[in-house]
Amino acid sequence: MLKTWHGPRPPQSSPPGDDAAHRAQHRLAVFEDIERGHAGWFWATDAAGRLTYISPAACERFGLDAEALVGLPFTSLFETDPENPGERSDRPLQFLLGAHARIADVTVRLIPDRCAPGSRTGWWALSGQPKIDAAKPGSAKQETGVAFHGYRGSARDITAEYERRIEDSRLAEFDSLTGLANRHRITRRFDQVLAAFKGTMRPATLMMLDLDRFKQVNDTLGHPAGDELLRQVAQRLTRVVGSAGEIGRLGGDEFQILLADQEDRGKLGELADKIIGVVSQPYMIDDNHVVIGVSIGMAIAPFDGAEREDIVRAADLALYAAKHGGRGQFRFYSSDLKDEKEERRLLEEALREAIASVDSGPDSWDEPQLAMVYQPVVRTDDHTVVGFEALMRWEHPTRGNIPPSVFIPVAEDTGMILQLGAWALRQAARDATAWPHPLRIAVNVSAVQFAHPDFPGIVADMLDATGLDPERLELELTESVFMGDGEVTDAAFKALKSLGVRLALDDFGTGYSSLSYLRAAPFDKLKVDRSFVDSCTLSDQNSAKIIAAIIGLADALGMETTVEGVEAFDQRDVVCAKGARFIQGFLYSPPLEQTVVLERMAGGQLRIPPEGPQRHRPERRSVYRRIGVIHEDHRYEALLRNLSATGARIEGLVGVPVGTSLVLDLGAGQLAVVTVSRSEDATIGVEFETPLVSDGAGGLVTRYRASPYALAAAARMVSSSAPQFLEVEVRRRA
């Protein structure tokens, strides 16, 4: 019987057999202690790699049925890291077992399905030695002199250090604030995608995102609020993009989205629009109502570049164009964006000069570049003018007319909006006081301008200086004024209402308008945005119902409603049927200069009968652009004059029969299949087989593009027959 040894004692002689038995029992006891202590477990296989032994302690811990496992391939018990499905850890194990090599700390995890429900398998380092001894005479292994009997090995629990290593790796690849991929990971992933797709010329799209007005949140509410906002933005992006792409945060308020195998600019535009809409929904940060926006630039490989650096540069230029073209929009890269940053710098300088030209006074030698024009607001039942909206116009000496959607964002970014907005208020008030009839004057107010603490004082000083009756002044605000400190916003509303001025909420319904705006702010009017009017006559749209809902809501709250952008009689019929009492749009009048307003008022012309088209047509853009027209194996040069999503007017080809199929080369790989629908002299009308899609900035583009490689191959084709149509020179008409 084995006796317990309690300490040193003189050695005693014993028979050799008893000593060997004592050592064997001692080894067995140590073996069992290790297994019971869960410090590890043991395993063994036969020469075919089948399991022959697994520790009872392991079976107990994992709820394994040892009898059911014995005889199974040893490698079938393990799985790899689920976060790296392409790296199967059983492959090196399989190789080592097959080579009868020593196994040292191979990381594995037991397959959860083989364990009892709720068991935490953890991560283990497998080690093992092949059992090899001299072959018996006459055996199959006699030639090599050895016989392989399988493996004897152990498993060591490395869960804690493995998870720590995974976390370290995650921190190196993912943004600690949002959990999105960081710059390092998204760059590496983009390189991998481009390398994998380069041989097959498959496309990949990169979206660059930049949050609009994020800096104001940081400045107003502090960095913790900004961090929380970034976390919420990341969550919304993840919901929208899902598994379609990988999202990364580059730092600050800049994000990237990588979309492999995607080149359809129609679908990309829809995704970008959805992202803009979702990100622009209001946020609640520390009980503050926060509204931001996002601008998106997109570039597509291989059309906009073959290397990552080229695609990133192209997407960045498109983003820059989106931000400074009005914000809250997307842009695809095009070659004409290369000088966008320089254009921005020149625009800033020109805007400073324009503001100086109106602030220098009437005795200045400089001709004023800025002016205010006034669009009538008309009562629908008798077509009588009840007021005007003041709109700013900038006529540059050499650039011509520059729209507000271009220069207002520049003014906001540079701080010039305060000076510009103050001038607009003064000028509109001066002009309104000169009218012989005391009609209302509505003036747009930028969110940046409204957020300035001196804004109510500026309005009060302007009213005193011009003598304008406060009840005649209507300040038009957008939802973005609610971004930032709610107490400051409420104080501004209270101060403005104490002056007696009216407040209107512009573009209502275009964002994610909240009824809390109407409850919290003392608005006198809601303005229905023209985007609903544009589609109100279409049967497959809900725009007419939305117009009716907004008008009904305003009526219930005792507010007026003005519907903007009415350009045709069918639109007027719809909005009037939905309850509209005040309309603003080209059907009644475009914006008028002050001299025209004075002339009409002096003549008593306060009634404007509607005049315009019976039906609203989708916008058809007038263009002047050289394009290629391909028929069979001939290419002709022609002039593109009108363009819409569904058709175009082309000049320069004579003798093209109606029904002829052509391919238009619109440049930059844009090839569009068209059918001739009208042909007269040197002018043809064509219809697109696939409608064009928006480029996000008022332009139209094809959904797909031909790759540079396909275009190069096509350019080498040589015509083999005579041209069928006569190509004529068309000069631009004055």
DSSP string, 126-178: EEEEEEEEEPPTTSTTTTTTEEEEEEEEEEEE-HHHHHHHHHHHHHHHB-TTT
Q: Output 159 or 664, whichever has higher pLDDT.
A: 664
> Strand 384-396 to strand 502-508: parallel, antiparallel, or no bridges (unpaired)?
unpaired
Please provide the average confidence, as pLDDT, over all residues in the chain.
84
Give residue 89's pLDDT: 43
Q: What is the mean pLDDT of residues 291-311?
A: 91
Give residue 258's pLDDT: 95
Confidence category of residue 365, pLDDT binned at 50, 70, 90: low
Give residue 7's pLDDT: 39
Give residue 685's pLDDT: 93
Q: What is the mean pLDDT of residues 253-274?
A: 93
Confidence category of residue 675, pLDDT binned at 50, 70, 90: very high
Confidence category of residue 435, pLDDT binned at 50, 70, 90: very high
Q: Output 84 or 39, whichever has higher pLDDT.
A: 39
Asked if 614 and 568 touch (Cβ cutoff 8 Å), the reply is: yes
Q: Output 399 or 7, whichever has higher pLDDT.
A: 399
Q: Output 442 or 513, whichever has higher pLDDT.
A: 442
Give residue 520's pLDDT: 67
What gap in Å lies between CA 106 and CA 89, rounded to an integer?
8
Q: Which CATH class is domain 342-602?
A: alpha beta
Terminus-to-terminus CA distance in the chain, angstroms? Answer: 118
Which of 258, 262, 238, 256 shows the shortest CA–CA distance to 189?
258
Q: Which CATH architecture has domain 621-727?
A: Beta Barrel (2.40)
User: How many C-alpha atoms does 241 have within 13 Å on its Cβ side?
Assistant: 25
For 529, the 3-state DSSP assignment is coil
Give residue 459's pLDDT: 96
DSSP state letter for 368: P
Asked if 294 and 275 touch (Cβ cutoff 8 Å), the reply is: yes
| Number of C-beta neighbours around residue 167 at 10 A | 10
Q: Output 512 or 545, whichever has higher pLDDT.
A: 545
Q: Does residue 585 register a pLDDT over 70?
A: yes
Q: Output 318 or 517, whichever has higher pLDDT.
A: 318
Which of 513, 519, 499, 511 shows the shortest CA–CA distance to 559?
519
Confidence category of residue 168, pLDDT binned at 50, 70, 90: low
Give residue 484's pLDDT: 60
pLDDT in tens, 500-536: 999 999 887 665 556 666 776 789 999 998 888 888 8
Asked if 552 and 579 touch (Cβ cutoff 8 Å), the reply is: yes
Give residue 8's pLDDT: 41
Residue 536: both structure tokens together: 């109100």
pLDDT in tens, 602-633: 888 899 999 988 887 766 556 668 889 999 88
Q: Output 621 or 684, whichever has higher pLDDT.
A: 684
Q: Does residue 6 register a pLDDT over 50?
A: no
Confidence category of residue 322, pLDDT binned at 50, 70, 90: confident
Confidence category of residue 381, pLDDT binned at 50, 70, 90: very high
User: How many C-alpha atoms does 110 have within 13 Å on its Cβ side?
Assistant: 22
**Where along the chain do its domains lie?**
27-164, 174-338, 342-602, 621-727
Asked if 378 and 372 touch (Cβ cutoff 8 Å), the reply is: no
**Prediction pTM value:** 0.60
Least confident of 163-172, 499-508, 579-588: 163-172
Asked if 628 and 662 touch (Cβ cutoff 8 Å), the reply is: no
Give residue 10's pLDDT: 47
What gap in Å lies between CA 398 and CA 359, rounded to an integer?
20
The percent helix, strand, coil of the chain (3-state, each to 5) is 40, 25, 35
Q: What is the mean pLDDT of residues 458-482?
A: 92
What gap in Å lies between CA 477 and CA 120, rounded to an integer?
58
Sequence-distant (6+) residues with CB within 8 A of 621 are: 642, 643, 644, 700
Give residue 5's pLDDT: 36
Domain 27-164 has CATH 3.30.450.20: yes
Q: Is the peptide bond before 302 cis (omega within 30 degrees of 0)?
A: yes
Q: Does residue 88 register a pLDDT over 50?
A: no
Q: Does residue 84 register a pLDDT over 50?
A: no
Fold of 174-338: Alpha-Beta Plaits (3.30.70)
Q: What is the mean pLDDT of residues 150-171?
A: 80
E strand or H helix at 289: strand 288-290
Asked if 577 and 558 touch (Cβ cutoff 8 Å), the reply is: no
Same-fold call for 174-338 versus 621-727: no
Confidence category of residue 312, pLDDT binned at 50, 70, 90: very high
What gap in Å lies between CA 304 and CA 313, rounded to an integer?
10
Q: Output 94 or 620, whichever has higher pLDDT.
A: 94
> Strand 525-528 to strand 502-508: parallel, antiparallel, or no bridges (unpaired)?
parallel
Q: Is the peptide bond before 403 cis (omega within 30 degrees of 0)?
A: no
Residues 61, 65, 69, 75: is their CA dihedral positive or negative?
A: negative
Confidence category of residue 338, pLDDT binned at 50, 70, 90: low
Q: Output 139 or 520, whichever has higher pLDDT.
A: 520
Q: What percent of the chain has pLDDT over 90?
A: 41
Least confident of 26-40, 81-95, 489-503, 541-555: 81-95
Least confident of 32-46, 538-552, 694-708: 32-46
Asked if 156 and 122 touch (Cβ cutoff 8 Å), the reply is: no
Cβ burial of 129 (10 Å; 0-12, 13-18, 19+) is middle
Least confident of 75-84, 442-451, 599-608: 75-84
Which of 678, 603, 616 shows the shortest CA–CA distance to 647?
678
Rg (CA), the chain: 38
Residues linked to residue 680 through DSSP beta bridges, in sequence order: 683
Residue linked to tokens 């983003």: 319
